[in-house]
Amino acid sequence: MLNIEVRRPRIEDRDELHQFFRTVVTDTFRKEGLSALVADIENEIESKKQYLQYDLDSNGKERYFLIACDKNDNKIIGSIEHGPASSLMINCTNGRLKGVPEIGTVFVLPDFQRRGIGSLLLNVMFLTLLNRGINEFCLDSGYKTAQKIWKKKFGAPDYLLKNYWGEGQDHMIWKRRTADMQIIF
């Protein structure tokens, strides 16, 4: 049985988180059949590293991360963050999501997926947003596997960008009120 702690990252977690991002992003691209997109993989990893650095430099004001650690060995097994909506989300919604915080970097190590860790992180983030007075959020995904999860948790997306990434490769964006979120598993 897993014994999980959800906490804020510390500077000494940076190297482990960088490797964590590499592992999860590479695995996600592989599962999506996109392993050949090496430059895109590297760009995704670098953006997550940059988001983490924004968090560490601003003490959670510019980006705000939470991580899940296995208390048995203190290994980082999951992450989630919130920050400003991406330019992709703002541009694709004609500016309607400008100023709406985005939940992103919802990652779980492959060996720990489908055990409720992502849901745990999401629930803690909902409580964090409410505590910070943040009444709405958005999230997006171009990954088919993640889209299935988000549709199950949040229903149909508010914005469906058909074939955004190529034929049959849609991008989906959700906008929700934080107060409407129920604890989800």
Contact residues for 169 (Cβ-Cβ < 8 A; gap 6+): 142, 163
- pLDDT value for 164: 76
Mean per-residue pLDDT for 149-157? 91
pLDDT at 1: 56
Residue-level pLDDT at 185: 47
Of the two residues 183 and 82, the one the predictor is more confident about is: 82
pLDDT at 174: 94
pLDDT at 182 over 70: no
pTM over 0.85? The answer is yes
Residue 67 confidence (pLDDT): 98
The pair phi, psi for residue 90, each rounded to 5°, is -65, -45
**Arithmetic mean of pLDDT, 106-134:** 93
pLDDT per residue as tens digits for the range 31-66: 887 777 788 889 999 999 999 999 999 999 999 999
Whether residue 11 has pLDDT greater than 60: yes
* CATH class for the domain made up of 4-180: alpha beta
The C-alpha atoms of residue 120 and residue 170 are separated, in whole angstroms, by 27
What pLDDT was estimated at residue 36? 75
Q: What is the mean pLDDT of residues 166-179?
A: 86
- The answer to whether 100 and 138 are in contact (CB under 8 A) is yes
What Å distances lie between residue 12 and 8, 19, 56, 63, 81, CA to CA? 12, 13, 10, 17, 18
